[in-house]
Structure 1
Amino acid sequence: MGGNLHSLELVLMLLLAFVASIAGVARRWQKPYPIVLVIGGLLLSFIPHLPAIPLNPEIVFLVFLPPLLYSSAWQTSWRDFRYNLTSIAMLAVGLVGFTVVGVAFVAARWLPAEFDWRAGILLGAVVSPTDAIAASAIAKKLGLPRRIVDVLEGESLLNDATGLLALEFGLDLMLSGSVPTVSEGLLRLLWLVVGGVGVGLLFGYLFTKLEHWIEDGPVEIALGLVVPYGAYLAAEEVKASGVLAVVACGLYLGQQAARIFSPQVRMQAYAVWDTLEFTLNGLVFVLIGLQLPTVMAGIKGYGVLELVRNGVILSVALILLRLIWVAPGTKVAYFVRRVVLKQQVPPPSLKSSFVVGWTGMRGVVALAAALSLPAEIPQKNLIVFLTFSVIFVTLVLQGLTLPKLIQVLGLSNSSGPDCEESEARKLVLEEAIAFLEEEKTRSHQEMVHVYDDVLHQYEHRLEAILECGSDDPEHAHSAHFREVSLGAIQVERQALIRLRDDGRIGDEVLRRIERELDLSEARRSTTL
């Protein structure tokens, strides 16, 4: 027992060190780290005598998926998610169904003879969900316009649920030969959605109520880590969608965080979740790459060239199916949003539609779904290999070609001020200045200079905000103000460290003042 635990600790330590090192290389190369980690894990799998590290699907669904989905949903803007829901649904629901049918046709026609239309439907259900982790990490890194990123992230948050529903139907078809009726399918989908969302909102609501009784940062963060697991398990227990429960809970609490958390807890929570998200993401993508020996060990009766050929056929088919769907799908979504919902959205361009079609990366959910198939399904091992091939091709091929594609199509985010952010900063500062001026008139004479000092700082910050679309050279002083401010903070920091090194202050005092300097530096780095 002790030896096994020691080996597990050693493997985990080496994997974490590998993730950190490869992610550092990815940052230096300016490549999205999921792609580099998958390639790194794949290369690592060729090392002789390396122990097999199988990817247990239960670990993926119960350990990795809930916190990663929760974190993505937490950071998703509910306003933008709701605004783009029609476009998201066309991909998360319509495209999943189109993919399942399309893959079934391709499998029955061009894949090995053991793939009939039923096995093709099962394969299509396995590979239909795109990856929330990959979509978010890659799309943001490549500088896609915010409106496209919002749709891609929303799609990847929801299509896990629709893909797993299709997988459920595919398994029924393969194991019992029964074909669910349309009414059965709709009722099942309705319960997955309503039940999952209801459980997620219930957990979110209970957590907000519990927050009012707790004023301890570590305790609140620990409870926050439990929430996604609780929502997922509770929804699965009532046969609803655990994925939607976690997403609904994350969206709800992401909206409530500004009210229920104190500033100190909020900063601690963001730091904890950033670290946890990076660690789990890194482990997931390295483990995907490490699965090649396990996948190949289960394949019998096929040559390498034949396997590669089948993997390429399915990967190309998936890419084409998505591209075929996106063009008319975006037009239908545009019609519904303009005519039915009365949203003032710009008409979809061919360029943006093509980029959305080219960003259908698959990831750990697809591989976990393939690995979770029952052993009595004769095509299981081949399905696992094909899924691995699709993940590798879509992540690496599409991920590495996206930067050039975005550049050629001219879709990268333009530099310059964010109009919405600038306006928000201006309004909140103006309200604060109005409050200070009003309080100043009511204060005692000896307090006037205090208000003047604070007002002077706020007025400097207000002047430093660049008007949207403005490149007036009069605003150049804001850059000089930031440079001078940051220089002064660095002098304070060096003096503080020198006092500690000379023994004139202790580490506790250093950390308190250092925290204030860190916050000041962060604010000046982001607001000016």
Structure 2
Amino acid sequence: MDVMLVAVASAVVVVTVTALAPRAGVAAPLLLVLVGVAVSFVPAVPAIDVDPELILAGVLPALLYAAAASFPTMDFRRDLTAISGMSVLLVVFSAVLLGFVFSWVVPGLDVAAGIALGAIVSPTDAVATSIIKKLGAPRRVVVVLDGEGLLNDATSLVLLRSAVAATAVSVSLWSVIGDFLLAVAIAVVLGVVVGRLGLWVRTRLKHAALSTAVSFVVPFAAYLPTEVLDASGIVAAVAAGLVTSTLAPKYLRPTDRVAERMNWQTVETLLEGALFLVMGLQVYGLVEDVRAEHGSLWIAWGVATLGAVGIVAVRAAFVLPLLQYLARRRRRGEQMRGMLATLQERLDAKIAAHRDGDVETLSTQAAREALERSWPEQLPERRRAHERRRLERHARRYAEMRRRTRPGTSEEHEAARAGVVERINRFSRRLTRKVADIDYLSAAPLGPKEGVVLVWAGMRGAVTLAAAQTLPADFPQRSLVVLVAFGVAAGTLLVQGGTLPWVVRRLGLAGATSPRRAADQAGLRDVVDGAARTLLTDPGLRRPDGGTYAPRIVDRVRDVVVREQHDQDEEEATPAEQHEQFFELRLATIEAQRSALLDARRLGTHDADLLNQALELLDADQIAVEMRSRAD
């Protein structure tokens, strides 16, 4: 009964604070931490100690899976360099540097134990960074912070495990690196397998509630076996979520995706709020433990302050060269864009030539001259030589493909020609994606202002506190270390999180939108309308039973889909057969439009947020059409 009462009261507090926080102009996580701290010091409330395994194994897999399942994989791929650097290298640098500092200032803490504490306070919290999502900060900044929060827990926990082991026995650097790589590799493989298996099961369930129930199981099905193999269950849950994000629009029904999205939003709201509330509720117990062991809290608050300042300093020192590297990479991409566009035009000409039956194309020398004319003058000679060698390799491969298009029979000749076109098409798609990536990085550069936000938004949260509480009972200065971890987490969350809106507004980044957004919206509209027109004007358009659609029905669907002129009275007045044809063709058109949007997502030619919105609109259209067809 007591547990039930606490759970209900916590849910009420989370809902109330989350609803009132926007009116107060304060982020809900900050208010929940403060409420928890205040409640923990009420005399009638006993000291609260939450099992860390409940957070690490029972809450985080679900939250990180949900975050990954809604994460745009296209943007994740584009910013993988920044994300991987901040989620791996930055965590390692922070843990090691702060570890030496902690071992120097805390009595009885050796270097291995200091690195363990450094590993605990080094990772940002994906839940804590949710604060910045509501500020209208630049989309690319949010993507990098989200990606960092999804992946850096694995680095931290592997380092923590190795550092704790090193307090008892000697552990080599190569052993730590080997453990990390093995843990990540196993986790990624199992996460991908479980993610695809979950989608396979859900495609065979005909009820949206059952499909959503399976999605609740997937993160734990990925986490548990991975932990048994001493790998990172967190990474496995994230990998399963990314697989779901990528493949769900292709394999799941719209009703399944809508139900999953709404149910997971509810779960995320309650679990995120509960994490921050629990952080505050544990303060009193931690304070009493440190007082009993040390008699004073000053050393804990002093070390926590040093740690909070240190992680910001190390983060700033890492982000600066990272931004410089990303800027150089962006400039190189802009220099190569003209050459890639020229190569794209030549590939399109090759595809057209093969389809028209003319396999004679420009020579390699002519191709080289055409490309060199498009190269900017400042392109380094070493880069020019590299591109020449790559062009010659493609020329040799193309010559081999041309040789294969001259077999004996006409059937073999056509089959070989189709194979050549398909290979060139695949390379053309990769080239289109590369150009789209360059355009994306050029349109949304990470400059000094964005760098300030990246540094200041690196808050710590419940993961840090949960990791600290997993330390063994005989760990040196355990109570002090746990309180220091809480001080760092709460301090960064309250100070940085509380001032982050002011920082974003002061830098002029609040409400920032991509300069390409309007063009992307128009482009996506063209993609959707073009897919509908292609399907509806196809001479080979047939019904599933092999019959043909009435011309009036085709025109009616074209009016509804392309021109968006809905006339329900006319639909209801049509005969039963034409009524069936209308809804049948309408659903086929929606499927063609969804396929075109997914193809655009693979190429990366449009904004990820706008693509997701367009896919959600198609889901809503399909659900509405299916409901009306059943009602009629």
TM over 0.5: yes
Q: Does 1:277 align with 2:271?
A: no
The 1:338–1:100 alpha-carbon spacing in structure 2 relative to 1, beyond 3 Å, is farther
Q: Compute the displacement of 1:231 (Å).
A: 0.4
1:180-199 matches, within 5 Å, as 180-199=171-190
Which of 291, 294, 311 in structure 2 is aligned with 1:318? Answer: 311
Matched residue, 1:477: none
Contact 1:104 1:121 in 2 (8 A): yes
Quote the Cα distance in structure 2 between the aligned partners of 1:10 and 1:112. 40
The 1:339–1:430 alpha-carbon spacing in structure 2 relative to 1, beyond 3 Å, is closer
TM-score normalised according to structure 2 size: 0.68
Q: Compute the displacement of 1:128 (Å).
A: 1.0
Q: Does 1:235 align with 2:226?
A: yes
- Partner AA of 1:378 in structure 2: P
Q: Compute the displacement of 1:335 (Å).
A: 4.5
Matched residue, 1:473: none
Matched residue, 1:500: none
* Count of residue pairs the alignment pairs up: 459
Which of 421, 428, 431 in structure 1 is aligned with 2:528? Answer: 428
1:33-44 matches, within 5 Å, as 33-44=28-39
Q: Does 1:162 align with 2:155?
A: yes
Contact 1:90 1:333 in 2 (8 A): no
Q: Which runs of 5 or more residues in structure 1 are unaligned?
A: 1-5, 463-515, 521-528
Deviation string, structure 1 residues 207-240 (Cα, Å, up to 9, x no partner): 2322343222222211111110010001111111
Deviation string, structure 1 residues 135-167 (Cα, Å, up to 9, x no partner): 1x2121111111111111111111000001110
Matched residue, 2:112: 118
Deviation string, structure 1 residues 61-85 (Cα, Å, up to 9, x no partner): 1110111010011111111111111
1:11-50 matches, within 5 Å, as 11-50=6-45
Matched residue, 2:123: 129
Contact 2:541 2:548 in 1 (8 A): no
Aligned residues with identical type, % of pairs: 33
SS in 2 for 1:144: coil
Q: Does 1:87 align with 2:82?
A: yes
Quote the Cα distance in structure 1 between the aligned partners of 2:529 and 2:151. 37
Quote the Cα distance in structure 2 between the aligned partners of 1:41 and 1:421. 44
The 1:447–1:90 alpha-carbon spacing in structure 2 relative to 1, beyond 3 Å, is same
Contact 2:137 2:512 in 1 (8 A): no
The 1:338–1:446 alpha-carbon spacing in structure 2 relative to 1, beyond 3 Å, is closer
- Partner AA of 2:145 in structure 1: L
1:265-414 matches, within 5 Å, as 265-299=256-290, 300-335=293-328, 344=438, 345-346=441-442, 348-414=446-512
Q: What is the root-mean-square deviation in Å for CA atoms of aligned residues?
A: 2.9
Matched residue, 2:164: 171
Which of 166, 188, 195 in structure 2 is aligned with 1:204? Answer: 195
Quote the Cα distance in structure 2 between the aligned partners of 1:138 and 1:455. 43
Deviation string, structure 1 residues 291-333 (Cα, Å, up to 9, x no partner): 1012112102242344333322221112112112211133235
Contact 2:52 2:466 in 1 (8 A): yes
The 1:204–1:384 alpha-carbon spacing in structure 2 relative to 1, beyond 3 Å, is same
Contact 1:433 1:458 in 2 (8 A): no
- Partner AA of 1:32 in structure 2: A
SS in 1 for 2:294: coil
Q: Compute the displacement of 1:27 (Å).
A: 2.3
Quote the Cα distance in structure 1 between the aligned partners of 2:323 and 2:185. 26
The 1:183–1:102 alpha-carbon spacing in structure 2 relative to 1, beyond 3 Å, is closer
Contact 1:143 1:413 in 2 (8 A): yes
SS in 2 for 1:76: coil
Matched residue, 1:221: 212
Q: Does 1:72 align with 2:72?
A: no
Deviation string, structure 1 residues 484-504 (Cα, Å, up to 9, x no partner): xxxxxxxxxxxxxxxxxxxxx
SS in 2 for 1:132: coil
Quote the Cα distance in structure 2 between the aligned partners of 1:461 and 1:54. 58
SS in 2 for 1:185: helix
Which range moves more in the overlay, 91-100 or 214-223? 214-223
- Partner AA of 1:390 in structure 2: V
Contact 2:102 2:303 in 1 (8 A): no
Quote the Cα distance in structure 2 between the aligned partners of 1:157 and 1:50. 34
Contact 2:14 2:273 in 1 (8 A): yes
Matched residue, 2:237: 246
SS in 1 for 2:59: helix
Which range moves more in the overlay, 347-356 or 281-290? 347-356
Contact 1:42 1:290 in 2 (8 A): yes
Q: Which runs of 5 or more residues in structure 2 are unaligned?
A: 337-433, 566-619, 625-632
The 1:139–1:125 alpha-carbon spacing in structure 2 relative to 1, beyond 3 Å, is same
Q: Does 1:148 align with 2:141?
A: yes
Matched residue, 2:399: none
Contact 1:331 1:348 in 2 (8 A): no
Q: Compute the displacement of 1:132 (Å).
A: 0.8
The 1:239–1:45 alpha-carbon spacing in structure 2 relative to 1, beyond 3 Å, is same
The 1:79–1:517 alpha-carbon spacing in structure 2 relative to 1, beyond 3 Å, is closer
Q: Compute the displacement of 1:258 (Å).
A: 0.7
Quote the Cα distance in structure 1 between the aligned partners of 2:99 and 2:448. 28
The 1:220–1:441 alpha-carbon spacing in structure 2 relative to 1, beyond 3 Å, is closer
- Partner AA of 1:231 in structure 2: A
Larger Rg: 2
Q: Compute the displacement of 1:419 (Å).
A: 3.9
The 1:427–1:235 alpha-carbon spacing in structure 2 relative to 1, beyond 3 Å, is same
Q: Compute the displacement of 1:260 (Å).
A: 1.9
Matched residue, 2:391: none
- Partner AA of 1:90 in structure 2: G
Deviation string, structure 1 residues 178-218 (Cα, Å, up to 9, x no partner): 1x223322221221111010010111122232234322222
Q: Does 1:138 align with 2:123?
A: no
Contact 1:327 1:354 in 2 (8 A): no
The 1:441–1:128 alpha-carbon spacing in structure 2 relative to 1, beyond 3 Å, is closer
Contact 2:69 2:245 in 1 (8 A): yes
TM-score normalised according to structure 1 size: 0.80
SS in 1 for 2:13: helix
Quote the Cα distance in structure 2 between the aligned partners of 1:518 and 1:263. 7
Q: Compute the displacement of 1:420 (Å).
A: 3.0
